[in-house]
């Protein structure tokens, strides 16, 4: 995808709004949930409204590519969720005590 100057691709493929840590994924996902440019500005007050409008215009002009990018992000997040090892409170207590600390909730 050919990115305009207001979007930057970080290492590992994440696309963010240039000068911000807010991702293209975040803006597009909320927009697809029904957020307007003004609502996105309320959600991300550090983003100027005109920047949000430019991002949404870019999305409309490049919908297929951006939707593919969003789908890839969602697949990666789902993969990460599946790979998270969860521990219960008893295991957490055991590890805490094994580290030499006293469990005192």
CATH of the domain at 34: 1.10.10.10
75 domain residue, yes or no:
yes
Domain that holds residue 38: 7-98
Whether 16 and 27 have beta carbons less than 8 Å apart is answered as no
Question: Is residue 44 assigned to a domain?
Answer: yes
State CA 53 to chain mean position distance. Answer: 19
pLDDT at 6: 97
> What is the per-residue pLDDT for 53?
98
Rounded Cα distance between 30 and 32, Å, is: 5
Over the stretch 22-56, which tens digit does the pLDDT of each residue have? 999 999 999 999 999 999 999 999 999 999 999 99
What is the domain count for the chain?
Answer: 1
| pLDDT tens per residue, range 92-102 | 888 888 998 87
Q: Is 105 a domain residue?
A: no
Per-residue pLDDT for 84 more than 90? no
Residue 104 lies in a domain: no
Domain-located, residue 1 = no
Mean per-residue pLDDT, 87-96: 86
Whether 103 maps to a domain, the answer reads no
In a domain, residue 85? The reply is yes
Residue 2 inside a domain? The answer is no
């Amino acid at each position: 995808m050919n990115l305009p100057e207001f979007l930057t691709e970080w290492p590992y493929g994440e696309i963010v709004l240039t000068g911000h840590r807010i991702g293209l994924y975040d803006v597009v996902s909320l927009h697809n949930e029904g957020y307007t440019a003004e609502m996105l500005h309320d959600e991300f007050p550090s983003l100027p409204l005109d920047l949000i409008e430019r991002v949404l215009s870019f999305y409309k002009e490049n919908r297929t590519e951006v939707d593919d990018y969003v789908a890839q992000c969602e697949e990666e997040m789902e993969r990460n969720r599946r790979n998270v090892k969860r521990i219960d409170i008893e295991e957490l207590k055991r590890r805490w005590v094994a580290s030499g600390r006293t469990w005192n909730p």
